[in-house]
Structure 1
Amino acid sequence: MGVVEMMNNSSKINGSTKTISTSLNVSGGSHNHFDDDGREKRTGSLLTASAHIITAVIGSGVLSLAWAMAQLGWIAGPIALMLFSFITYFTSTLLADCYRSPDPISGKRNYTYMGVVRSHLGGYKVQLCGLAQYVNLVGIAIGYTITGSISMAAIQRSNCFYKNGHGADCYSNNNEFMIIFACFQLVLSQLPNFHKLWWLSIVAAVMSFAYSSIGIGLSIVKIVENISNGGARTSLTGATIGVDVTSNEKIWKTFQSLGNIAFAYAFSTILVEIQDTLKSSPAESIVMKKASLAGIATTTFFYALCGFLGYAAFGNDAPGNFLTGFGFYDPFWLIDVGNACIAIHLIGAYQVFCQPIYQFVETKCAQQWPDSIFITKEYKINFFNLLTMRFNLFRLVWRSIYVVITAFVAMLLPFFNDFLGLLGACAFWPLTVYFPIEMHIEQAKVIKFSLRWTCLKTLSFCCLLVSLVAAAGSIQGLIHDVGKYKPFQNVH
């Protein structure tokens, strides 16, 4: 029925135990422990998949939505949010059907996004998919490092103002907190794979609900306070030319805000990897579609509250990070809790997004050097007979180097809104729209120039235009910020 890689502990080399891959036929009672592809039986469920999705979707993107609404206004802002939500859900259902090929229910499993593209499209598109996916995942790791450090620094500054008064010279060095964030990742990166991260995703999902709720609550309080002062200045079209921004700034920031909203829905890069954690009954595609609906509907609800209430609270002057925009005064403890929840959530989300990169590099190296003890040998560490962990030297070295590099780049380019907008723009069209649509057309044998084919191609082209203008706005913002930035400076 299948071929399984098992650890044979009876083989000794120089007195130590070596991991050897042996082929065993799955038969008899053993089939209860393995799936149809011979791998260890998957145990993921609708709950764990939804938690992974919520962890991936509700990230640092939610913090910039109030700013994005301020650039777009009360008409274009909600429309853009709903459109991105609908498009992301629709294409995620197409991608879910591509996990198995050629048949979405009983076909061969594909373990990665690249594997799915290879099975359905093949050729140069596989390399394009890999480039888009892994560059985006590296960028997300950098972006999460930036955002996590901002939240940690905000806690330090809030406590400083509370203890020393509002006029105190409180400053923080985000680099110190990026190092702290990276230290957490050095430890968590040693978790072998997605299957071991379900608890981390659930914790991170709870944290995302917590800080979103705190932001919503503080926005409501600020709105009530603003009523006596006439309310924050908002408009149907967002930031006003000649008052808030120049005409050029209006155009560029509008484009950038679209990238920020796109980034807020960037989870297609790991959808296949999440689906590969699900047990096979009921069918993975059915469960994944339900999980995508639950995850995206939940996050869109929170996004709408955070974006709309944040805009109502701050008006056209909404800050890039709406949670830190409430100031560093009272209630300082609640803002501290919110920022702590952000940091905890991003610590978990970082690992969820890094898993595809980890697995890709480790699989390729194991195939290239199958006899290397450094790469393939697994050690078991027993902690007081309570916990057993698998340990691998190559995993330790390479994942640690990856974490250090992403932290260093984050220190060099700590631009929150511009960076998120660029990531969203670069990832949205190819990974969320283009590849799922192209694979669906191939899998379902959609007739060329039919109504369905034309609608799908039109949707893909429109999303390409959105991604291009969003990327242009974010690049312009990065160029502007880099021109006046001094690396490794303190934040006042």
Structure 2
Amino acid sequence: MRSENADAETGKGGGVEDVAADIEALDLQKAPNGDQVDDDGRPKRTGTMWTASAHIITAVIGSGVLSLAWCTAQLGYIAGPASILTFSLVTFYTSTLLTDCYRSPDPVTGKRNHSYMEAVRANLGGTMHMFCGLAQYFNIVGISIGYNITSTMSLVAIQRSHCFHKRGRDASCAASHNIFMIAYGIVQMILSQIPNIHELSWLSTIAAVMSFTYSIIGVVLSASRIISGDTGKATLGGVEVGPNLTESQKIWQTFTALGNIAFAYTYSVILIEIQDTIRAPAENKEMRKASLVGVTTTTLFYILCGSVGYAAFGNDAPGNLLTGFYKPLWLIDFANICIVVHLVGAFQVFCQPLFSAVETWASKRSNMSNITTKDYPVKIGNKFKYNINLFRLVWRTIFVALATVLAMAMPFFNDILGLLGALGYWPLTVYFPVQMYITQKRIGRFTYRWIGLKVLNICCFLVALCAASGAIHGMSKALREAKPFKGNL
């Protein structure tokens, strides 16, 4: 363990292990002097518990909330809300463990870890740091694809609702998703030029407001449908085995639903990066408060959306809650627009760690240093000025373009969410926070606390394994039936 840490600190590790140290060195070079710097020489942070809460809500309430009515339909009135509550408790508990790993070795006075990967390296060594990087970046890429798919479904829903309004509910209103995916990608290419997460507070605030708005609209529309009596069949056990559903299909869909719920709580992947925006001192205390506000708020919305949505549609609940409504037209259109605006912001928040890692790695290469570090000022009018970095412009544009192409090839909403939730939740939300906490606090083997943390780790791993198998099964079936790039949803 010590030898790995020593290698990482001296820069002798290769590839992924050097990224965190490179980020620190580069930021120190750019840092201002005097009162504008923190204790480690970096630019002074200005974030608060409330801005961190906005980042969390932006990251947590995403496309996952729209699938919760479908998840509840697979699990039932009892197991559905119970699963949502269980995931929320686990997420909040492990997030409190992770906040204490922001500084090492002491959570209050230790050296700052500016990223999730840096925290893993400081506590677990270079090898685990590499595996964390692979899990984090794979999850970020997957989320960027999932958000494109979800935003496109909302835009397609607007187009189809207008078609149904004009031609009737029985009309054929198939809509092409390719043009919407490309448009979404272009917007992200522009916004991805925002340099770092510290400059995204305004976008996160807007996105958080949008997430509350469309969640409330979904609940209100579901409640109005319940009041009108136009509801589907709902049971305590969820979708029932019968002529249209075999026992094995029921099991696979249950597993996929668990993955969807896990995806709805995947924000630990950027928790350390969010905490790094909070001004000193006592960042861990402020981050705990922000996590409590964020997770509690989102859980209330999740249970409402899941339970009320299931009550409204019953066992026929759609994979995306808002796609099941067609009236009032203006309100549904507004809700879908809110989804798109929110996911535009969430995409940027989630992708910043990957953007930063690649650009810092490139800046340390001598043959690329002039391209990666030089900014070109561009003026628009007399007041607006923006610095364009050529490497950032090219690399982030390529990344967004690739994510858009992959989204066009895999428009499978629930299965994609289930797989991303399964692959991202256990390692990043449970395993690494638990292992870092055990190491930092020097918790003895086979003590009650050690056993409890290990049991939590194993249980979450088994749930993730089931969720991944269900999602893969669903995707394999969808791939046999779907026609990638054909452009219809």
Interval of TM-score (by shorter of Structure 1 and Structure 2): over 0.9
Offset of 1:91 from its aligned partner? Answer: 0.4
Give distance in 1, aligned partners of 2:161 and 2:173: 9
- Note the alpha carbon deviations across 1:20-47, whole angstroms, 9 max, x for none: 9996998xxx431101111111111111
Whether the 8 Å CA contact 2:362–2:369 is kept in 1: the answer is no
Determine which of 160, 163, 172 is the counterpart of 2:163.
Answer: 160
Using the alignment, how far apart are the partners of 1:24 and 1:338 within structure 2? 42
CA positional deviation for 1:78: 1.3
Given the two structures, how large is their TM-score scaled by the length of structure 2?
A: 0.92
Cα 1:166/1:94, change in 2 over 3 Å: same
The alpha-carbon deviation at position 74 of structure 1 amounts to 1.3
Instruction: Note the C-alpha offset of 1:316.
Output: 1.0
CA distance 1:349–1:288, shift in 2 (3 Å)? same
**Given the alignment, which residue of 387, 393, 418 partners 1:421?**
418
How far off its partner does 1:370 sit? 7.2
Question: Which moves more between the two structures, 210-219 or 360-369?
Answer: 360-369
- Give the match's secondary structure for 1:390: strand
What are the ranges of 5 or more consecutive residues in structure 2 without an aligned counterpart? Answer: 1-25
Q: Is the 8 A contact 1:192 1:390 kept in 2?
A: no
Mapped pair 1:334 → 2:323: no
The range that moved more, 425-434 or 371-380, is 371-380
Asked if 1:111 is matched to 2:110, the reply is: no
- What secondary structure does 1:488 align onto? coil
Alignment check: 8 A CA contact 2:120 2:436 kept: yes
CA distance in 2, matches of 1:252, 1:21: 47
Residue 365, structure 1, aligned to residue 397, structure 2: no
Determine if contact 1:370/1:376 at 8 Å carries over to the other structure.
no
- Corresponding residue for residue 392 of structure 1: 389
Please tell me the root mean square deviation across aligned C-alpha atoms, in Å.
Answer: 1.7
Deviations 1:31-70 (A, max 9, x none): 3110111111111111110000000000000000000000
- d(CA) in 1 for partners of 2:391 and 2:67? 37
Question: Are the equivalent residues in 2 in contact too, given 1:447–1:453 (CA < 8 A)?
Answer: yes
The amino acid that maps onto 1:77 is G
Secondary structure of residue in 1 paired with 2:67: helix
> What displacement does 1:167 show?
3.8
| Correspondence for 2:199 among 189, 196, 200 | 196
For residues 282-332 of structure 1, give each alpha carbon's deviation from its aligned partner in whole angstroms, at most 9, with x where no partner exists: x11111110000000000010011000001001111110011012x3x211
Q: Which residue of 1 aligns with 2:21?
A: none
Question: Which amino acid in structure 2 is aligned with residue 319 of structure 1?
Answer: P
Tell me, yes or no, if structure 1 residue 208 matches structure 2 residue 200. Answer: no
- Residue type matched to 2:274 in 1? I
Distance 1:35 1:413 in 2: 44
From the superposition, tell whether residues 399 and 490 of structure 1 become closer, same or farther in structure 2 (CA, over 3 Å): closer
1:355 partner amino acid: Q
d(CA) in 2 for partners of 1:454, 1:385: 63
Whether 2:62 is the aligned partner of 1:48: answer no
Is the Cα–Cα contact under 8 Å of residues 102 and 443 in structure 1 kept in the other structure? yes
Matched to 1:255, the amino acid is F
Give 5+ residue unaligned stretches, structure 1: 1-19
Per-residue deviation, 1:333: 1.1
Pairs within 5 Å for 1:25-40 = 30-40=33-43
Q: Does structure 2 retain, via aligned residues, the 8 Å contact 1:137–1:353? A: yes
Q: What is the CA distance between 1:157 and its match in structure 2? A: 1.2
> How many residue pairs end up in the alignment?
464
Q: Tell me the SS of whatever aligns to 1:142.
A: helix
Q: Within 5 A, what are the aligned runs for 1:60-459?
A: 60-226=63-229, 231-242=231-242, 245-281=245-281, 283-326=282-325, 328=326, 330-369=327-366, 372-459=369-456
1:69-93 per-position Cα deviation (integer Å, ceiling 9, x unaligned): 0000012111111110000000001
CA contact (8 A) 2:115 2:273 kept: yes
**2:307 is matched by which residue type in structure 1?**
F
Which stretch has the larger CA shift, 231-240 or 264-273? Answer: 231-240
Quick one: which amino acid aligns to residue 312 of structure 2?
A: A
The 8 Å contact of residues 171 and 490 in structure 1, kept in 2 or not, is answered as: no
Aligned partners of 2:410 and 2:92: how far apart in 1?
A: 32
Does the aligned pair in 1 maintain the 2:28–2:42 contact within 8 Å? no
Instruction: Determine which structure has the larger helix proportion and give its number.
Output: 2
Partners of 1:143 and 1:23 in 2: CA distance: 36
TM-score in terms of structure 1 length: 0.92
What does residue 18 of structure 2 align with? Answer: none
